[in-house]
Copies of this chain bind each other. A is one copy, B any other.
Amino acid sequence: MAEEARDGGAPAKQGDRKATILRAAIEVFATKGYQGCRIADVAREAKVAYGLVYHYFKNKDELLQSVFRAGWEIFVTELRAAVARGQTLEERVGGIAEVCFEAYRRDPRAVRVLVIQVARSPAVGGRNRQNAFEEIIRICAQVFVDAKVGGELRPDFDPSLCAFLFFGALEMGLTAMLMGGSGEPDPGALERAKRQVVESFLSGVENPEAAWKRNRSGTRSRAAKHA
């Protein structure tokens, strides 16, 4: 109990424990979901006494809100930064994807929680979830609104829906990763996946050769119809 309190006064302890619990909560949360995540599990996972969880977190909801916010705020901040950094639609979309895939590379567990659990579950903090998810969508949607104004976006597309679709593709791209490898993700595969997500979103999955032929043979390009 007092072994490590020597050389630095007694500093590292406070924050450590709380962080340990938070990490444990992410772990359990990722595996069992919100309702299935019991305080006892978190305490066991963190190798911490049952009651200690209640020292650092008022109750279960606050704990899971913390799990959520801890990851989400960083994520949203990075997202805004990526959007601000980029000039063109391509840069911005790429930047958003970069943030998401990088977050996944750093901590797949946390991403699973944020993306798969928290952002969906109707039980997680009611308003918070909705707000959180909508916040992301709003950030993305702005990118597409700008792109539409700048003529970069197909004029017949709804920017807000674009935000949903892009985010859906991103999420599923990550899900594909999550379902594939259970351990450390392969950096090469990650990079390739990210590229495909971005490019297919911007330019579609169709082979331009094939699309060109098809167009020549009578059927006008779908895109051209709306030009």
Q: Is A81 an interface residue (CB 8 A)?
A: no
Contact with B along A185-227 (1 / 0, CB 8 A): 0000000110011011111111111110000000001111001
Q: Using known A-B contacts A32-B123, A34-B35, A151-B210, determine if residue A204 contacts B196 with beta carbons closer than 8 Å.
A: no
Q: Is A160 an interface residue (CB 8 A)?
A: yes
**Total copies of this chain within the assembly:** 4
A136 to chain B, nearest CB (A): 11
A191 to B191, CA, bound (A): 34
Q: Using known A-B contacts A33-B123, A123-B36, A222-B202, determine if residue A192 contacts B158 with beta carbons closer than 8 Å.
A: yes
A155 to B196, CA, bound (A): 11
B-binding residues in A (CB < 8 A) = 31-36, 89-90, 116-117, 120-123, 130, 134, 144, 151-158, 160-162, 164-173, 175-176, 179, 192-193, 196-197, 199-211, 221-224, 227
